[in-house]
Structure 1
Amino acid sequence: MLKEWLNTTGFEKTREAKKMAKIKKKLMTLEIERCQKKMTHCDVTAVDKKIADHKSAYAKMCEDKR
């Protein structure tokens, strides 16, 4: 009975998948923004920090999913 309650439900799996897809989409937009700033010779450190934060969040979610 305890095992039944501890297993993740289908709803939780889809919610996590949606979160992961949202993070991947945000990473893509940040990479595009980074490229645009590099082309205009602007500072990209703030964008790089955001990318690093999102990558670590995505890696953590992937690790938790296992």
Structure 2
Amino acid sequence: MNIDWSLLIAAVGLAFVFEGLPYFLFAERMPRMLLRLATQPPKFLRFIGLAAIILGLLIISFGRSLSS
């Protein structure tokens, strides 16, 4: 298995960008949002996590289909 390290590092960097955007754009609202998320049941948080994973995989698949 050959790993393209530059692509992996770029993907991790892009993940940090997307993770940081809400905190930068909505700094005043984020504490309330995090408190609201902390009160949600684990089943709901797992559903949101699974939805994010599926959406991410679909975006990756779409991006790869554009480049071939």
TM-score normalised per structure 2: 0.43
- Structure with bigger RCO (C-alpha 8 Å, 6+ apart): 1
TM-score normalised per structure 1: 0.44
